[in-house]
Structure 1
Amino acid sequence: MNRLHPSVRVVWGVKWILFGVGVGIVTSFVTGFDTHVISIVTVTSIIGIAVASLRYRAFRYELRDDGIYLRRGILTQKETVIPVGSVQQIDVDKPLLDRPFGLVHVQIYTAGTFGGRSTIPGIKLDTAIDLANRLDRLARGNSDI
């Protein structure tokens, strides 16, 4: 199975740091103590780096003739199989924080489920376009992947 690009760990870590800065600022306004900001940012940064590494190690994806297989989850591992027949739409998104690293997300929308969408985050643009094209060909009945 394929892994995400290693740079996605940095993106996820930065998101945790930004979250920590936000929580630290709110806490300093509520309590009036500026020292809380540094503590909260430090703690969320450490947690964020650990979570990002674990999440990266747990996420896998693979495109096969019958569908796309996803494996993810840190504490509870979840495996998803998206049959090619249920694929309705495939989007390649470029989130703001991912752009400096050349990373994108592949969004796969499916039929027959409420909120039927699965995401493959943190892959390079050329890999994402290749994956989306191959999945689209399979969904249209062309098995030459």
Structure 2
Amino acid sequence: MDPAAVDVAELTGPEQSLESTVRLVWFLRAALAAVVLGAVAGALSVVLDGPAWVGAVVFTVLFLFGATRAHLRYESWSYRVRTDSLFLDRGVLTRVRTVVPYVRIQHVDASRGPVERAFGLATVVVYTAGSRGADVSIPGLTPDRADDLQDRLKRLAIAAEGEDAV
């Protein structure tokens, strides 16, 4: 692929949000955690001769917290493919804004774990040059959107750095 032949403007676009299905996945994960921790708290309470309702209270509090967090997390997530970088904006309590210059991209993966496959979702992982933990993930995309984003980021990285970029 000739880096000069890449039309950067064609590959960029407006701010994008995640697929709404990811909110359900995050909600179900929170519910599962609430069930497990509520059951453990209830069992411990009974074993220690405490009130039997402790498990229900723990479940209710964790479930409400997790459901609220899942909704707020979904509402706070966005990304944008810009002319010089990938921009991510996310976070519930702590807002995180990440700018990934295309010249720093090493490679881009589109992955689908078992839960994501069950819900028709995928995640794009962008591996960057630099410190450990500098990689970024964009969850909650359809497989087609993930493949398209992976291809666009690869082409933009090549245009920014040359054929050795990705």
Q: TM-score w.r.t. structure 2 length?
A: 0.79
Counterparts of 1:77 and 1:92 in 2: how far apart (Å)? 25
Is 1:105 aligned with 2:138? no
Gaps of 5+ in 2: 1-14, 162-166
Number of the residue aligned with 1:94: 112
Find 1:11's aligned residue among 5, 25, 44: 25
Counterparts of 2:125 and 2:75 in 1: how far apart (Å)? 20
CA RMSD of aligned residues (A): 1.8
Number of the residue aligned with 1:67: 85
- Larger deviation, residues 15-24 vs 41-50: 41-50
AA paired with 1:109?
Answer: Y
Q: Is the 8 A contact 2:45 2:55 kept in 1?
A: no
CA shift, 1:30, in A, is 2.0
Report 1 or 2 for greater relative contact order, CA contacts < 8 Å, sequence distance ≥ 6.
2
AA paired with 1:14?
Answer: L
AA paired with 1:69?
Answer: F
Q: Is the 8 A contact 1:9 1:49 kept in 2?
A: no
The aligned runs of 1:1-145 (5 Å cut-off) are 1-32=15-46, 35-141=53-159
Gaps of 5+ in 1: none
CA shift, 1:24, in A, is 1.5
- Larger deviation, residues 34-43 vs 12-21: 34-43
Number of the residue aligned with 2:11: none
CA shift, 1:37, in A, is 3.2
**Percentage identity across aligned positions?**
36
Counterparts of 1:29 and 1:61 in 2: how far apart (Å)? 43
- Larger deviation, residues 84-93 vs 121-130: 84-93
Q: Is the 8 A contact 2:38 2:58 kept in 1?
A: yes
Give 1 or 2 for the bigger CA radius of gyration: 2
* Deviation per residue, 1:18-55 (Å, 9 max, x gap): 11112122213322265333332222222112111111
